[in-house]
């Protein structure tokens, strides 16, 4: 018997994609959606029997609503603008949860939420449990493949991004000539790409006429149910505007929103879209070979 599934939605395209997928014939329709004011897409209302709008920090209200409607499994999908966290007025339960944490970085906040949900009998599920097709496959997904110079930047960027993730700062970096142009932090991927573009695009800029590489990876010790790195058509469009020619994302860990549209966007702009594993980024002298 199918469990009753609830969605706690943040911002971005993914919550709506997930809700639509759960409305397909043969899928279990979402029992309830909790959406955040100022973050979530209003179109979510078309894809569940019940929807509750909450302000950020109203955790007790969320839990009461889910339990009231018999929700057994919960999927957390979409982001929350980190700058808004500092303006939140948390309810008593949210404040109690935060006080238990050692800090307010991404992983600790999300793990705190997961712990509270599960302590109340709600099983936490990953969006990829329901939509495995979003996980990036290994290999080149675009017509153009990376050249050797780009492979050097990919390998360097993988190590830099994994180090960034170990500190729970972000999931991605932009690399040019084995130097980090920009690192993802509170602003998110799109803002990082725009910031990097200011350095590498146009006459007299540091990158000259050559592009750069975006690398996005899963954080070490990542809970696969929470905050997986994600790209989509908009990411590729922003890359093209910023002069970034390669998107290398961790195969089996990162998600591609609308994979076919993302692939078409890569080919339209002659970009590289690549699913990479740890085996692919071993330095050639350590046994990788030519990198092709």
**Is residue 140 one of the residues assigned to a domain?**
yes
**Is residue 269 one of the residues assigned to a domain?**
yes
Residues 266 and 143 grouped into a single domain: yes
pTM: 0.83
Residues 21 and 142 grouped into a single domain: no
**Is residue 292 one of the residues assigned to a domain?**
no
**Is residue 68 one of the residues assigned to a domain?**
yes
Expressed as residue numbers, the domain containing 246 is 135-286
User: Which runs of E-coded beta strand occur in the chain?
Assistant: 5-9, 32-36, 51-54, 73-77, 123-125, 139-140, 172-176, 179-183, 212-216, 230-231, 244-250, 255-256, 272-276
Task: Among 132, 161, 191, give the residue marking a domain's end.
Answer: 132
Distance between the two ends of the chain, CA-based, in angstroms?
Answer: 47
Cα–Cα separations (whole angstroms), residue 163 to 185, 218, 226: 13, 11, 19
Statement: residue 289 has pLDDT above 50:
no
For 5-49, how does the pLDDT look when each residue is reduced to its tens digit (9 = 90+)? 999 998 888 999 999 999 887 777 789 999 999 889 999 988 888
Helix (H, G, I), strand (E, B) or coil at 202: coil
* Cβ–Cβ under 8 Å, residues 205 and 244: no
Residues 41 and 112 grouped into a single domain: yes
**Is residue 36 one of the residues assigned to a domain?**
yes
Burial of 285 (0-12, 13-18, 19+ CB in 10 A): exposed
Residues 106 and 155 grouped into a single domain: no
Residues 24 and 118 grouped into a single domain: yes
Task: Among 87, 109, 132, give the residue marking a domain's end.
Answer: 132
Residues 55 and 166 grouped into a single domain: no
Residues 52 and 65 grouped into a single domain: yes
* Neighbour count for residue 70 (Cβ, 10 Å): 11
**For the chain, how many helices (H) and strands (E)?**
10, 13
Residues 61 and 156 grouped into a single domain: no
Statement: residue 290 has pLDDT above 60:
no
Residues 220 and 272 grouped into a single domain: yes
**Is residue 291 one of the residues assigned to a domain?**
no
Residues 59 and 199 grouped into a single domain: no
DSSP notation for 261-291: HHHHHHHHTT-EEEEE-GGGGS-GGGTT-S-
Nearest alpha carbon to residue 193 among 273, 247, 114: 247
CATH at residue 67: 3.40.50.20
Per DSSP, 132 falls in state G
For 238-276, how does the pLDDT look when each residue is reduced to its tens digit (9 = 90+)? 999 999 999 999 999 999 999 999 999 999 999 999 999
Residues 141 and 179 grouped into a single domain: yes
Q: Report the domain count for the chain.
A: 2
CA distance 53 to 199: 40
Buried (b) or exposed (e) across 117-126, using 16+ Cβ within 10 A? beeeebebbb
For 91-142, how does the pLDDT look when each residue is reduced to its tens digit (9 = 90+)? 787 777 766 655 555 556 667 778 888 888 999 999 999 999 999 999 999 9
| pLDDT at residue 128, as a whole number | 92
CATH at residue 261: 3.40.140.80
Residues 280 and 141 grouped into a single domain: yes
């Amino acid at each position: 018997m199918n469990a009753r599934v609830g969605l706690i939605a943040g911002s971005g395209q993914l919550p709506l994609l997930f809700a639509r997928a759960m409305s397909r014939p043969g899928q279990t329709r979402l029992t309830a959606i909790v959406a955040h004011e100022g973050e979530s897409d209003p179109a979510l209302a078309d894809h569940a029997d019940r929807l509750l709008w909450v302000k950020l920090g109203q955790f007790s209200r969320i839990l009461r609503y889910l339990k009231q409607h018999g929700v057994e499994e919960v999927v957390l999908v979409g982001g929350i603008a980190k700058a808004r966290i500092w303006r939140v007025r948390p309810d008593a339960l949210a404040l109690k949860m935060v006080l238990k944490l050692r800090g307010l970085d991404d992983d600790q906040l999300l793990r705190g939420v997961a712990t509270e949900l599960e302590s109340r009998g709600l099983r936490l599920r990953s969006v990829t449990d329901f939509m495995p097709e979003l996980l990036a496959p290994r290999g080149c997904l675009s017509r153009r493949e990376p050249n050797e110079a780009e492979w050097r930047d990919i390998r360097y960027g993988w190590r830099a991004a994994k180090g960034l993730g170990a500190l729970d700062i972000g999931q991605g970096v932009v690399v040019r000539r084995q130097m980090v142009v920009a690192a993802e932090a509170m602003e998110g991927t799109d803002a990082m790409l725009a910031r990097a573009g200011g350095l590498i695009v146009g006459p007299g800029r540091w990158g000259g006429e050559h592009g750069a590489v975006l690398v996005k990876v899963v954080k070490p010790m990542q809970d696969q149910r929470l905050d997986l790195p994600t790209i989509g058509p908009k990411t590729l469009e922003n890359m093209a505007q910023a002069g970034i020619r390669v998107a290398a994302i961790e195969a089996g860990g990162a998600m591609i929103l609308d994979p076919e549209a993302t692939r078409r966007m890569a080919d339209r702009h002659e970009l590289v879209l690549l699913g990479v594993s740890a085996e692919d980024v071993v330095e050639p002298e350590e046994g990788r070979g030519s990198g092709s």
